[in-house]
Amino acid sequence: MLKHVLENGPARAGSLRICEAAYPQPFYMGLEYSTPARGMWNIAQTGFLMPETHQIFVCAYGCLRGVVLTAAEMNALGRYSAIAIRENDIINGTIEKLMVEGVTDVLNKLSYKPKCVQIYITCQHFFLSYDHNNVFERIRKAHPGIEFLDCYMIPAMRKSGISPDQRMRRQMTRVWKGRSRCDSKRINIIGSNLPLSETAEIRSWLKDNGYELKSIHDCKTFAEYVDMENAELNLYYEPVATAEMQDLKKRLGMESFYFSNSFDYDEIDETYARLAEKLGIEAPDFSENRKMAEEAIEKAARLLGDTPVAVDYTLTTRIFSFTKLLTDHGINVKTVCTDLVQPEDRHIFEELQQTHPDIELAATNQPESRFFAGEHEREEKTENKPKVMAIGQKAAYFFATDYFVNVAEGGGFLGYDGIVKLAGLMEDAFLNKKDRRKLIRKKGFGCESCV
């Protein structure tokens, strides 16, 4: 008897009830759709965080189009250059020569001398087995005094090994070569595209214990960024930075601590206790912060009433933890837009399957997903009240609602302060319409944009 290989596995559908979804991949991975919601960062935007750095992309014209538009939108064309690979370079086997001479030509024409140059190679280099080590050895020899960093724009390898985002973060700290000292009272916050909120309780707690927090967002010079290698500890709250932490431990012996961006009060307290133990300091008493978070989310819940709510994974890596926070307070979560269930959220996902079996899971990248927005756009709107309130840009797009929380990449929120801030943004989203089309088309939430 023949049996369908996808039975009890990923569904070939655009949406399904959470009780019917498979862990960790509810939907079949095949041909993918990309929404016009552009709040998530790309590798070029992440690379631009590094100060006194110039980017050079080496690829075909078709690939360059998206990157040059990113640089232009960020008003960063002065920090961007491109070397185009043409057909004759492939036929004649001259990619190595093109790269060495092209990089030299770019640097000779720049009006400034960068401290670091990020050279992005692409799929073509790997398909053609170009001599990577030889190229970078020649480039470094020709331009002493400049740090050259090999970076990778390889969508063909997006589903194998570490992701492009993980690789980019790992490469950015490869300029940390060797620690000259260990500053025992300095902690790095790394791996996040957005700076941690200034009002996050973790900041004041560590400061009160004599610690200095430093991130790439605080660095004005390349030298300041490199000096981060001398910190005692690397703290990160984005799982995408895990490969970076492992690399720093292997190369430099740097310790790290993962502060999961949970929305569960007990888990937040436990994480603070583990961090205190690692640092050898007294665990904090955040009972007042916990009370403030509870009051804020209860206030938002009263305002929203029975309004259907849609959330999406671009808001936070712990989207099911966030969903449970909402449902525990009576907020009517109708849909969770996500394509995967993160391991950290498995137990919560399975709990929601039992307690809220009718919550809809909606794929964001299935071909069928492209019809969602049109369907909701045609629905009758209710006067001065959201038919659906969205939390996240993709949810706003799919449900065609201008009542939405415009946050991506975690928003720089963490801990109890993050819950208070999100609750406030939910209230604002319920009461005040936004221009959805104008906001979600901007690349990289929090980046400078001329659009």
The string of DSSP codes covering 328-369 is HTT--EEEEE-S---GGGHHHHHHHHHH-TTPEEE-SSSGGG
Domains 183-259 and 294-440 are alike in CATH topology? yes
Classify domain 294-440 at the CATH topology level: Rossmann fold (3.40.50)
Task: Tell me the backbone φ, ψ of residue 119, rounded to 5 degrees.
Answer: -105, 115
| Among 155-164, 246-255, 429-438, the least confident range | 155-164
User: Which residues lie below 8 Å from residue 361, measured CB to CB, with a gap of 6+?
Assistant: 15, 16, 17, 18, 21, 26, 27, 335, 336, 337, 338
18's tokens: 């959470």
| pLDDT above 70: percentage of residues in the chain | 95
Nearest-5° angle of CA 89, CA 166, CA 142?
Answer: 45
pLDDT digits (tens, 9 = 90+) for 38-70: 999 999 999 999 999 999 999 998 889 889 999
CATH number, domain 183-259: 3.40.50.1980
What does the pLDDT read at residue 4?
40
Q: Does 382 have pLDDT greater than 80?
A: no
DSSP 158: T
DSSP-derived pairing of the beta strands 183-189 and 212-214: parallel
What does the pLDDT read at residue 281?
97
Q: Which helix (H) or strand (E) holds 391?
A: strand 389-391
Higher-confidence position of 71 and 382 = 71
Q: Does 7 have pLDDT greater than 70?
A: no
390's tokens: 């969205």
Q: Does 2 have pLDDT greater than 80?
A: no
| Among 10-14, 130-134, 360-364, the least confident range | 10-14
Strand partners, 213: 187
CA atoms within 13 A on the CB side of 267: 17
| Among 7-16, 71-80, 356-365, the least confident range | 7-16
DSSP 228: G
Q: How far apart are CA 318 and CA 183, in angstroms?
A: 32
| Among 16-20, 124-128, 258-262, 280-284, the least confident range | 124-128
Confidence of residue 3 (pLDDT cuts 50, 70, 90): very low
| Per-position DSSP letters for 400-441, written without gaps between them | T-S-EE---GGGG--HHHHHHHHHHHHHHHHHS---HHHHHT
pLDDT digits (tens, 9 = 90+) for 184-241: 999 999 999 999 999 999 999 999 999 999 999 999 999 999 999 999 999 999 999 9
Q: Which residue has the tokens 């319409």?
A: 433
23's tokens: 């862990």
DSSP-derived pairing of the beta strands 80-84 and 53-59: parallel
What does the pLDDT read at residue 372?
80
Name the residue ranges covered by the structural domains of the chain: 43-175, 183-259, 294-440
What does the pLDDT read at residue 139?
98
What does the pLDDT read at residue 383?
54
- pTM value? 0.94
**Is 35 in contact with 397 (CB distance < 8 Å)?**
yes
Higher-confidence position of 175 and 369 = 175
Classify domain 43-175 at the CATH topology level: Rossmann fold (3.40.50)
| pLDDT above 90: percentage of residues in the chain | 83
Helices (H), 173-241: 201-208, 222-226
| Strands, E assignment, 99-230 | 116-122, 147-153, 183-189, 212-214
pLDDT digits (tens, 9 = 90+) for 394-445: 999 999 999 999 999 999 999 999 999 999 999 999 999 999 999 999 999 9
What does the pLDDT read at residue 377?
66
What does the pLDDT read at residue 1?
40
Q: What is the mean pLDDT of residues 165-179?
A: 95
Q: What is the mean pLDDT of residues 373-396?
A: 77
Task: Tell me the backbone φ, ψ of residue 214, rounded to 5 degrees.
Answer: -135, 140
